[in-house]
A and B are shown apart, each in its own frame.
Chain A
Amino acid sequence: METMKLNDVTANDLPWKIKYDASRCTMCGSCVATCSFRAILPKVERRRMVFSEGNFPEPKARFSAVPVIRQAKSVRDYCRGCGMCEKVCPNDAIHPERNMDTRHPIITRCLGGDSIKRGGRKNLEGTARTLDKIRVGRISQMTDPSLDAQRHTFDLLAPFGRILPPKKLPFTPDSDQELMTNELTPPVNWVYPVIIGDMSIGALSWRMWEGVAMAVAYLNEECGMPVRMCSGEGGVPVRLLKSKYLKYLILQIASGHFGWNRIAKSMPHMVEDPAGILIKIGQGAKPGDGGLLMAQKVAEHIQAIRGVPKTDLLSPPNHQGLYSIEESVQKMFLSFNAAFKFRVPVAIKVAASATSVSVFNNLVRDPYNIVGGFFLDGIDGGTGAAHEVSLDHTGHPIVSKLRDCYLAAVTQGRQGQIPLWAAGGLGKTGDLAADAFKMIALGANGVFTGKLILQMAGCIGNDMGRCNACNTGLCPAGITTQEPQLVHRLDPERVAQNIVNYYLAMDQEFKKLMAPIGNSSLPVGRSDALVSTDRAVAERLQIQHVC
């Protein structure tokens, strides 16, 4: 018998326990072959069996070697609860169970001497979400008619780009009473109010990225929905850069500048302008922390696209060489505006923070009118990889922060001049239309979403510690990995189909929310349409308290 020492890792220390029923197991091996984490292993056990062969009971004991499945006892190769074993088992012989008594957070740190890293969302479940305490409560009844979601037409578009104050519009009436203009105004693209958030090629598998890109193209070309996706910071395949589909893509630049060598070199060959440029300063899931792509995921094609060796790729927490908002406005915005000859809107993405209103005020007051969007990312969003302590304990909720920024604009009479885009846990319950609609009524022009897109594709991770292994490169769904065997689990066409269908459903749901309040265009800032049964929420957001 093996000697056990007190500090040896056992299944009891790990976050998930494998429940295995040897009597149902046919030894097909599917579960072991499927587990990308090597968290289950075949093993031979010595078993004692009591049997009787005669007409009368004559119990005898026999020892035999029996093949079984056992859980790995390691803080590196441990069960993440992804449930792939259960999914493939033909006999329901195996499944993971959450271990309430896990010592994982302690032993991992004790054994590794390093901070814990993972993907996914914040895993500290707090109280009910603010958005779930808000209802669309101003229903058109006898004073004004509701619209008909099926029959009426609705304008479901949001601006991406800097919007001039009305008095700055370069219009002069001519003799025919027509307004004439010859001057350039900042570029603005009207897009679907739900942008597919910035997930890089590298963080995502090539099949996942392809699936998303296909969905976007289909939504635009077949469904007439101008949905845009953001590249994330990780470059773009050159073929896409040179294709007509570039117009559906928002190119992101962050502090690592990954992939921009190729993008810059492709500029002369571009046949379409990109939909926009998004300068990422921070992200809500790990605010104040830079991007992180673990070496495991830096496959050859990622090295090529990003122009890097196989190593952990860390974007610095801030943009080196920028020391102030004003400088960032001048340097980054002007250089990107100039690069695309002022035809492409340039926006900024920051993590929601206690300082967000100051940043927004600074940008909205810039006299050059060049900041084309304020993307505000709150806590509760997902990420491919981050230090767990950042993920769980830093950040700022999006709802009140978005509202604060909108009201700051209202106070200055500048609402709408820099479109507000919000994210961070939206659609967490699976219902993005409702979350997005409430955010829009609170002042957002639109929202962006990342984690939910992964879940549409088949991600089985959740916010209670299931899977969250995006950082390992071992994604069991083939979504956040570059391992060919795993990536091939994912069917990009199915990914595209799921995303397209979700968007079509969401589009209907938007109409089902707009019709009862009698609005045919997005009710941006129409907070009188919202009510809350929670007095604190109502007061904080300046909406009606109801009970």
Chain B
Amino acid sequence: MCRIGAIKSRNYIHPSMALQLMQSQQKGHDNSGFAMVMQDLGGIFESYKHLPTLSMACTDAGIKIAEDILHEIGFHRVMQWAPEVNDEPGLDINAMPNYVFETFDYPRNYRKAEQKEKEELLLDTRLRLRAALEPNEEGFAYSFWPDVITLKEIGDPRDIGTYFNLWEGNDRFTAKVITAQCRQNTNYDIVRYAAHPFHLQGYSVLANGENTFYLKNKEFQQGLHRGYIGFESDSQCFLYSLHYVHRELGWPLRYYKHVVTPLPFEQIEQREDQKQLLAIRQSLAHLEINGPNTIIGLLPDNTLFSCCDAKKLRPVVIGRDTDTIVISSEVCGINEVLPDRDWETDIYPNEREVVVIDDNLEVQRWKQ
């Protein structure tokens, strides 16, 4: 089982908090990786929020391939940061030679372009980078998006934290939202792209579970959007469905739940909006998920949410104090990072619920 967690705070927080959130949830041999997406960045990235940052792990040749492509398209680098690594012997990490976090300005001809146009360019660029880096595994382009950073690596999460010097907090590498996952999806090959959180055009998703409708989801999603690729893990399907419902169809977030875990027919019949719900269930039947799942999702506007499978077969808990809200697979993680909170206000969402946290840290519980 993957451990997943998300922290959203009024203040900038350091990834060490995410590592702590994950640490106490470790059990047995689940040590095949650590991954996180940081959004709403602080520290050295704070003044570049409007410009896209490339998150990439690669070889030396990979850097050259990527930079050539970016320059050819017309992107200008405005900032570059590489984590100082602690390459001490004995660490369980399958490290790449380089970890690249570079912020770019848009090509000249895009500077006055519509936001949507820029967003399509960023996606196309990332897909192109990924395709170019894929032969010989020269690199992995995880995200290329404003105000978003992604880090993924294979190994023991504790050692990965040590390698990247993430255990010690600082104010240079921070964000107001951090989502993190430990242990990659072991049902598939242990590859970097299979590690959630997955990111696509401002949407991030991580999940704990098994999507037994993976094949149905995948076969349908492959034809829906050029960005729906990879499918290294069954959890990617959750991201693509979220992106499709919220961005491509333009539907409110509440309908995501109706798509992935539709109500039983007999309950739909009792509803005033049965026409809509039935139409959704029909037209998006192949995006329904099955099996045990907890999903944590992050929207481009920093809205964080969580929901479960229709039978509540996987756990999730949400705890908070005044400034910070934490979503986690298990409560022990929250106890670690928010020990003084009022645990009586913790939320254990049910199978027909979506818990949504907006940018003011207001928590809403939507009944499906």
Contact = CB atoms under 8 A, between A and B. Distances in A.
Nearest to B254: A177
Interface in A148-190: 152-153, 155, 157, 159, 163-167, 169, 171, 173, 177-181, 185, 188, 190
A144 B212 contact: yes
Given A143-B187, A157-B265, A178-B273, A519 B213 contact: yes
A518 interface: yes
B28 to A, nearest CB: 13
B90 interface: no
Contacts of B285: 159, 163, 416, 524
A410 B264 contact: no
A519 B219 CA distance: 18
A521 B278 CA distance: 14
Interface string B210-221: 101111100110
Contacts of A412: 223
Interface stretch (B135-143, B149-157, B288-296, B342-350): B288-296
A1 B233 CA distance: 86
A147 to B, nearest CB: 7
B279 interface: yes
B290 A525 contact: no
A155 B264 contact: yes
B310 A528 contact: no
A303 interface: no
Contact of B251 (A179, A525, A528): A179
A4 to B, nearest CB: 68
A159 B273 CA distance: 19
A478 B129 CA distance: 72
Contact of B219 (A145, A159, A415): A415
A361 to B, nearest CB: 15
Contact of A527 (B209, B215, B223): B215
B interface residue count range (under 10 / 10 to 19 / 20 to 34 / 35 or more): 35 or more
B252 A177 contact: yes
A546 B4 CA distance: 34
A526 B217 CA distance: 10
B212 A517 contact: yes
A166 B249 contact: yes
Given A140-B212, A164-B279, A526-B216, A520 B251 contact: no
A518 B212 CA distance: 7
Contacts of A157: 265
Nearest to B212: A518
Contacts of B282: 159, 163-164, 188, 416
A367 interface: no
Contact of A144 (B254, B275, B284, B292): B292
A523 interface: yes
A153 B213 CA distance: 17
B310 A520 contact: yes
Contacts of B278: 188, 190
B89 interface: no
A144 B210 contact: yes
B246 to A, nearest CB: 11
B96 to A, nearest CB: 28
> Majority SS of interface residues in chain A?
loop
Contacts, number: 113
B231 interface: no
A159 B285 CA distance: 10
Given A179-B255, A413-B223, A523-B216, A518 B286 contact: no
A185 B279 contact: yes
A405 to B, nearest CB: 14
Given A143-B210, A190-B265, A413-B224, A525 B252 contact: no
A496 B264 CA distance: 29
Interface in A437-472: none
Given A145-B313, A155-B264, A177-B254, A416 B286 contact: yes
A179 B212 CA distance: 29
A526 B310 contact: no
A524 to B, nearest CB: 7
Contact of A181 (B265, B275, B288, B311): B275
Interface string B246-263: 001111111100000010
A525 B212 CA distance: 12
B276 interface: yes
B270 interface: no
Interface in A111-158: 140, 143-145, 147, 152-153, 155, 157
B283 interface: yes
A165 B284 CA distance: 8
A144 B216 CA distance: 17
A181 B276 contact: yes
A155 B265 contact: yes
A166 B213 contact: no
Interface of B: 187, 209-210, 212-216, 219-220, 222-224, 244, 248-255, 262, 264-265, 273, 275-276, 278-280, 282-286, 288, 290-292, 310-311, 313
Given A145-B292, A165-B283, A526-B213, 18 more contacts: A144-B291, A144-B313, A145-B313, A147-B311, A155-B264, A163-B282, A166-B249, A171-B249, A188-B282, A413-B223, A416-B286, A518-B291, A518-B292, A519-B291, A521-B290, A523-B216, A525-B215, A526-B216
26 contacts: A143-B210, A155-B265, A169-B279, A169-B280, A177-B253, A179-B273, A181-B279, A185-B275, A188-B278, A190-B265, A410-B219, A413-B224, A415-B286, A416-B282, A416-B286, A518-B210, A518-B212, A518-B291, A519-B290, A521-B288, A521-B290, A523-B216, A524-B286, A525-B215, A526-B215, A528-B215
8 closest A-B pairs (Cβ-Cβ)? A413-B223, A144-B210, A177-B252, A528-B215, A166-B283, A163-B282, A144-B291, A519-B290
